[in-house]
Amino acid sequence: MLLPLKAIISKKPRKDGTSVIYFQYCYSSTNRVLLSTEIAIPVSCWNGKRQCISKSLPEAAGNFESLNDEIGRQRKIIEVIIEHGNATGEPNIGAYVKSLFKPDFKVDTLQHTPRILRLAKREPDFFQEIDSYIKSKEKKVCEKGIANFQNLKDRLQVFQTFRRKEIKFSSLDFNFYNELVEFLSYDYQLRRKKEPTYGLKVSSIGKTIKQLRMFIKDRVRRKIIAPVDMDDFKVLDEETDAIYLTYEEIGKMYNADISRDPTLALYRDMFVLGCLTGLRFSDYSTLSGSDLRNGMLYKKTNKMDNWVVIPLRKEAIDIFNRHYATGVPKISNPVFNRYIKEIAELAGINQPITFSYKKGNKDVSITKSKAQWVTSHTCRRSFCTNEYLAGTEISLIMKISGHKTHKDFFKYIRVTQEEAARKIQEIWIGRNNMQTFAQSGAA
């Protein structure tokens, strides 16, 4: 059995070949602390059985008898500190001894030393920290970004109620991750649905995990919590099914007969402007008259907080002068989406389109008219895809769209197999009129 207090020598030599002698204090069956004597000798000169320095110690390293006396003196100091700590009822005797002991410690100061309580640090409240995190982001991200973090909080609160177990930072492990993903896949009830609907799409679950990782990393960087191993917190993802509109279809919407409801004109024009500029809804819905200068649109984007400069075509300038010169009313995204679907139906964009997505391990397919797939974000996808198909240099499109990487840019490109084939065909015709080999005399 290990003695409560034992002199040992480090197994890791220092650069000069010597190792430090420590006292190992085992204050429980599983816990121990090391207390440095600040004495270092060659390992070969240490007698582990007798816990002392042997006579073989070179003179250059010191006098072995004097050093052994010093080790004995320090042992007595530690024993006095341990006895004092036990007498005063220290809750963590190991931490108490380690905090006080030094080779030159004066034992007569113990009676004047205030009691040192090593109470366990109270773990920060998980949801209070999320609130603090969201507040810290209010001036740094757009409203949609704040809404995403609020969604994270709401989903975790529902998960906590579902599992009947409080979420703590100390509970964030692989088991927590698996339980959360399974809950969001099958048991989370979607809001704003007429009929009870359960389970998020894989991409939505991935977004929740991504935001959770961002929140935890922020709390760790601020040293509010201890580091959390999130290597297994995989951000699930799948390619998003989303449509784009050709310039012909956008023209149909622009020229659609809306005489029965003239109020649709603003929504129609805003949508078309978005398709001709590649801006996000948060940007093309907040333009002002001063943003247009010399036929160029200058806009600081809400999401990325960077400037983009976009040349405006005739139709875009007409729309801008008609609505934005004097300012447009504030419009919510859900309301905007509802009206542009109606306009797309009036424009005859109604061919059926089927999209599928993962819900857990199941494939779910939905068929709707193309008009019903149109959203405010269709503008951005349409701009990027149309310009890409028209042969505009990708780097120039990215300057307007604000994409930082080609990977992010190509997520917006919606090219069918037929369109891709026609694009390659055009390139081959221009290169050598669809001929692979040079003319020869072969029969």
Query: Would you list the DSSP string of 51-98?
Result: TEE-TT--GGG--HHHHHHHHHHHHHHHHHHHHHHHHTT-S-HHHHHH
Contacts of residue 32, defined as CB under 8 A and 6 or more positions apart, other chains included, come to 24, 25, 26, 94
d(C-alpha 230, C-alpha 215), whole Å: 12
For the whole prediction, is pTM greater than 0.85?
A: no
**pLDDT category, 430, cuts 50, 70, 90?**
confident
Q: Is 147 helix (H, G, I), strand (E, B) or coil?
A: helix
Q: Mean of the pLDDT values across residues 272-290?
A: 94
Could you give the angle at the alpha carbon of 267 between the alpha carbons of 342 and 328, nearest 5°? Answer: 160
d(C-alpha 67, C-alpha 41), whole Å: 10
- The DSSP letter of residue 121 is P
CA atoms within 13 A on the CB side of 239: 10
Is 356 a residue whose pLDDT tops 60?
yes
Is 2 a residue whose pLDDT tops 50?
no
Return the pLDDT at 85. 86
The continuous run of DSSP H or E covering 22 comes out as: strand 18-26
Return the pLDDT at 35. 94
Return the pLDDT at 368. 92
**pLDDT category, 27, cuts 50, 70, 90?**
confident
Is 410 a residue whose pLDDT tops 90?
no
Comparison of pLDDT for 88 and 117, the residue scoring more:
88
**pLDDT category, 114, cuts 50, 70, 90?**
low
Q: Mean of the pLDDT values across residues 259-269?
A: 94
- 98: nearest Cα among 33, 39, 38, 37: 33
Q: Which bin fits 207, alpha (ψ -120 to 50), beta or left (φ > 0)? A: alpha
**pLDDT category, 241, cuts 50, 70, 90?**
low
Q: Give the pLDDT confidence of 362-406 residue by residue, as tens digits.
A: 777 889 999 999 999 999 999 999 999 888 999 999 999 888 888
Return the pLDDT at 3. 47
Q: Which bin fits 214, alpha (ψ -120 to 50), beta or left (φ > 0)? A: alpha
Q: What is the DSSP string of 329-364?
A: ----HHHHHHHHHHHHHHTT---EEEEEEEETTEEE
Q: Mean of the pLDDT values across residues 31-44?
A: 92
Residues in the chain: 443
d(C-alpha 226, C-alpha 124), whole Å: 11
Is 316 a residue whose pLDDT tops 60?
yes
First to last CA, the chain: 96
- The DSSP letter of residue 304 is T
Contacts of residue 71, defined as CB under 8 A and 6 or more positions apart, other chains included, come to 7, 21, 37, 39, 51, 52, 53
Sequence letter at residue 241: D
Helices vs strands, H then E, count in the chain: 16, 10
Return the pLDDT at 439. 66
Tokens of 37: 């004597």
d(C-alpha 47, C-alpha 43), whole Å: 9
Return the pLDDT at 278. 94
Q: What percent of the chain has pLDDT over 70?
A: 93
Lowest mean pLDDT segment, chosen from 164-173, 283-292, 350-359: 350-359
- The DSSP letter of residue 189 is B
